[in-house]
Amino acid sequence: MKLSAPVHHLKRQARLLSRKDKIPLHEALGRIAAREGFSSWSLLATKAAETAPASRLFARLAPGDLVLVGARPGHGKTLMSLELAVEAMKSGHHGVFFTLEYTHTDVLDRFRAIGADPARFNELFEFDSSDAISADYIVRALASAPSGTLVVIDYLQLLDQKRENPDLMAQVRTLKAFAGDRGLILVFISQIDRSYDPAKKPCPDISDVRLPNPLDLSLFNKTCFLNRGEIRFQAVG
């Protein structure tokens, strides 16, 4: 059964419905699922996961990759990144999520939104929302992470927020070298510049990444950009 919109759009509709009708989010999700022809949101999310772009994208990732996932707010970049973490954990690898944007509860809710049972990955998933997040902090935190661990950094630009940290270019180079040495996959969620105009091109691209300070974007060997259900994946080099 084909969904009327991507899962992250349906989830957004449910959040809006929850606020509008003043009902719990799980009830709103159930209503959206029923509208799509499913008896529950979990069944809808499971069905969507079977053909999810994340599973195809994950199959093209390899230890040592630096992946840039970019979109304007509300277009699914966080869900896509978490779906990649779930795919890694389904394969028996670890998943780690560094963020200053979300709480642990927020992330667990998003797991459920994509049809993933958090309890299934309890031993494989780590969440870190320390105010000290930087390249050096991440390297220390992942010192014993096994090869194949998929790490989500939410988001690229947060590394550039504190003046006491090295510049963004130096931090990404540090993380690239570390990922290569340890066999990790690093997924950076990225903001997109407000100048991006969807009327001119259906998806943002590398030229639309918001960079307050210089960064050689060729350090990322794979990119994934999203907009209104459109997904553009590219392997560079």
Query: Which pLDDT score is estimated for 1?
Result: 60
pLDDT at site 50: 62
SS3 of the chain: the string is CCCCCCHHHHHHHHHHHHHHHCCCHHHHHHHHHHHCCCCCHHHHHHHHHHCCHHHHHHCCCCCCCEEEEECCCCCCHHHHHHHHHHHHHHCCCCEEEEECCCCHHHHHHHHHHCCCCHHHHCCCEEEECCCCCCHHHHHHHCCCCCCCCEEEEECHHHHHCCCCCCCHHHHHHHHHHHHHHHCCEEEEEECECCCCCCCCCCCCCHHHECCCCCCCHHHCCEEEEEECCEEEEEECC
Res 168: pLDDT? 95
Domains and CATH numbers, the chain: 7-50 (no CATH), 53-235 (3.40.50.300)
Residue with tokens 């809006």: 16
pLDDT at 51: 59
Q: What is the pLDDT of residue 81?
A: 96
> What's the confidence (pLDDT) of residue 29?
94
The pLDDT assigned to 49 comes to: 66
- pLDDT of the chain along its 237 residues, tens only? 678 887 778 888 999 999 999 999 999 999 999 999 999 998 888 777 665 688 889 999 999 999 999 999 989 899 999 999 999 999 999 999 999 899 999 999 889 888 788 898 989 999 999 999 999 999 999 999 999 999 999 999 999 888 899 999 999 999 999 999 999 999 999 999 999 999 999 999 999 999 989 999 999 999 999 998 889 999 875
CA atoms 222, 88, 44, 97: torsion sign: negative
| Cα separation, 74 vs 8, whole angstroms | 8
Supply the pLDDT for residue 237. 57
Tell me the two tokens of residue 229: 């259900």
Residue 185 has what pLDDT? 98
pLDDT for position 3: 82
